[in-house]
A = this chain, B = another copy of it.
Amino acid sequence: MTVRFKPADKQVEVAAGTLLSDAARQAGIEILMPCGGQGRCGRCAVIVEEGTVRRRSTQRISPKDVEAGYALACQTIVEEDVAVSIPPQEKIERRLKESKRAAKVELPFPYDLHDQPLRKYAITLKPPSLQDQTDDWSRLRRELARLYDLQDLQASLPVLRKLGPALREGEWTVTLVVNLDPAGFRKPEGTASLPSTVEGSPKGTPVLLDILPGEHLENLWAAAIDIGTTSNHVWLVDLISGKVMSQKADYNGQIARGEDVISRIIYASKGNGLQDLQGLVMETLNRLLERAARERGISTDQIYKAVVAGNSTMIHLFAGIPPKPIRLMPFITVINQLPPFPAREIGLGINPDGTVDCLPGIASYVGSDITAGVVSSQMCGMDDLSLFIDIGTNGEIVLGDCTWLISCACSAGPAFEGAGVVHGMRATAGAIEEVWINGGHGGRLEDYDVTYRVIGEEKPRGLCGSGLISLMAEMFAAGVMDKSGNIHLDLPTERVRKGEHGAEYVVAWADESATGEDIVITKVDIDNLMRAKAAIYAGFSILARSVGLSLDDVGQVLIGGAFGQYINVSNAVRIGLLPDKPFDSFSFLGNTSIRGAYMALISQDARRRVTEVGQMMTYLELSADNTFFDEFNAAMFLPHTDMSQFPSVAALLEGG
């Protein structure tokens, strides 16, 4: 069958029975599938202009549109020659977080090059002679043992292939790059640490990563990497000074195949999905590594190690391990602690023999972004009981102190990243990020009119997560909606009205918006956001109760994740997303995951602590907790059914 695509005017031959989305990929045409090809989001709609097709599902397309030829690419089967028109695909607006937002990273502790296991040695060997015909490799090892007491050095075939030529080109002077302890488990002498036999740890055998002719001791580079479901971060680190020399970030290229981890897992289990997703994240990371290297004037081949943190699904996809069991009852990972491996095995764009160390996670939904985050949050260094929250595409929560840690994951869904909300969008240019409504009990002008702030000071195009929180808090405080999230349709303003999806509130009129349509929030949107915040708050409550404590006992609330940086705390408390605590109990830590990866990169002690945190941490599976549904329902109000947990909000409402 021939499938012709417009307007690109590309055409491919496919077998009958092929999905339109597969045909498009074969033609090299990008069609966004935020739900991972499940036919649920409706974003992959195309117009079939010639020929007939079989539609497995037409969810999200009106019968009128189906009549007009609309079809979901991921649900539509080619049965004869067809011509298909692809509407313009939504472009992901790139926000250069690294330059605009990322603060310069300070060294988290005094740095000593010898606290991390990467070394460069420049050595000059006695050349071989007829009297000493020792082979090159033994000669090198002999000298390393003599000079540095370095025993049992290992090397892969690709490195051994460089050995002979390098020694002779350098006239028996070479620079060696060695990883003394690929997995970072060897305890430096005199360092105190929790007792542990680290499960899954390979022997701490030194490995030769590279051999260069001549002397090249001037630098030693490595990278910390954070693989988020939504965005990827790379920090290029100079191991001589320990400093972060470049920070790059971009959206994870996998977004086009699904917004959340579930969609990605579904996508990965189909055909070449896994290879496709692995390739996409590698493309993103390699582009970031390339840009960081170029910024410092080095080649990526000079980067000899990468420490990687990410949620368990991201780590599985990064390593090419089928993530399917993560999604299915009883929700387990294939592996929490990957062995270190050379970059060539997955095509990560550092030196091909450079060590890739994926930090250990502990469960399907508590990955190494969290173990790394706990270490970098320093929650173990505090006297108080701490609550650590990472709200990203999922919400992960850790409660504990130095002696114990308990964690859970809330399937909050990506509502706070703008998905599942009619005018939701990511926090990029054009997103409304904060909202103020006239009204409520504060004695202000009660016309329920609105002002807002837009990222990039452009015309608004939609609402991002912080905008949604702000909007809900203001609608509730101003009395636009009640504690169940019902919009009062009888208010004296045109902004409340009955729309296609039930009651809605107009945030921006068509003439002020960039899209030419009204920007609204609907009852359906509000229900989605309520479920998200209720899931998170239920997580807090259950974690605390499971160890016989209450949220009152929590002294510190540590908030990680990029999203956390932009939350207005009083708004988040007002809608019951965060517990009601004094303002100074909250710390906003930004991307704790990459910070943890960075610490593990520059310190063996921090590296070991990540593993120990993982071993110490108990994981509570909320879906196996029989109180979850009660707690969730109790939190499905603004801020909560139990107002005694939200005294400041109660005071605000009463004080009105």
Q: Which residues of A contact B (CB under 8 A)?
A: 128-131, 133-138, 141, 152, 154-157, 160-161, 163-165, 168, 199-203, 205, 319-322, 324-325, 329-339, 341, 345-346, 363-364, 619, 621, 623-624
Contacts and interface: CB of A to CB of B under 8 A. Distances in A.
A202 B331 CA distance: 37
Contact of A335 (B130, B137, B154, B339): B137
B203 A133 contact: no
B330 A128 contact: yes
A229 B324 CA distance: 49
A157 B325 contact: no
A367 to B, nearest CB: 11
A168 B203 CA distance: 30
A332 B621 contact: no
Contacts of A334: 135-137, 160, 163-164
Nearest to A151: B197
A411 B6 CA distance: 71
Q: Which of A131, A141, A334, A345 has the most CB of B within 10 A?
A: A334
A178 to B, nearest CB: 15
B319 A135 contact: no
Contacts of A341: 156-157
B130 A329 contact: yes
Contact of A133 (B161, B200, B364): B364
A134 B330 CA distance: 10
Q: Which of A135, A161, A338, A341 has the most CB of B within 10 A?
A: A135
Contacts of A133: 330-332, 363-364, 619, 621
Contact of A203 (B156, B203, B329, B338): B203
Given A154-B339, A155-B339, A322-B165, A332 B623 contact: no
A433 B58 CA distance: 82
Contact of A332 (B136, B157, B322, B619): B136
Q: Which of A156, A335, A624 has the most CB of B within 10 A?
A: A335
Q: Which of A138, A155, A619 has the most CB of B within 10 A?
A: A138
A336 B135 contact: yes
B332 A134 contact: yes
Given A135-B335, A157-B321, A161-B321, 10 more contacts: A130-B621, A130-B624, A136-B333, A136-B334, A137-B200, A138-B335, A160-B334, A161-B320, A161-B322, A203-B205
Contacts of A168: 325
Contacts of A205: 202-203
Nearest to A322: B164
14 contacts: A133-B621, A135-B333, A135-B334, A136-B325, A137-B335, A138-B199, A152-B202, A154-B202, A156-B339, A157-B319, A157-B321, A157-B341, A164-B322, A165-B322
A335 B623 contact: no
A321 to B, nearest CB: 5
A332 B135 contact: yes
Nearest to A136: B334
Nearest to A335: B137
A200 B341 CA distance: 20
Given A157-B341, A325-B168, A335-B136, A624 B131 contact: yes
A345 B161 CA distance: 12
A333 B154 CA distance: 17
A411 to B, nearest CB: 15
Contacts of A338: 157, 160
Contact of A128 (B138, B332, B336): B332
Nearest to A345: B157
Nearest to A328: B168
A632 B242 CA distance: 63
Contacts of A161: 319-322
A128 B334 CA distance: 11
A338 B136 CA distance: 12
A430 to B, nearest CB: 41
A364 B138 CA distance: 14
Nearest to A619: B133
Contacts of A364: 133
A337 B139 CA distance: 12
Contacts of A131: 624
A130 to B, nearest CB: 4
A621 B128 CA distance: 13
A439 to B, nearest CB: 46
Contacts of A623: 130
A364 to B, nearest CB: 7
A566 to B, nearest CB: 33
Contacts of A337: 137-138
A160 B325 contact: no
Contact of A130 (B322, B330, B345): B330
Contacts of A165: 322, 324
Contacts of A330: 128-130, 133
B200 A141 contact: yes
A125 to B, nearest CB: 12
Nearest to A155: B339
Nearest to A339: B154
Given A133-B363, A325-B168, A330-B133, A319 B160 contact: yes
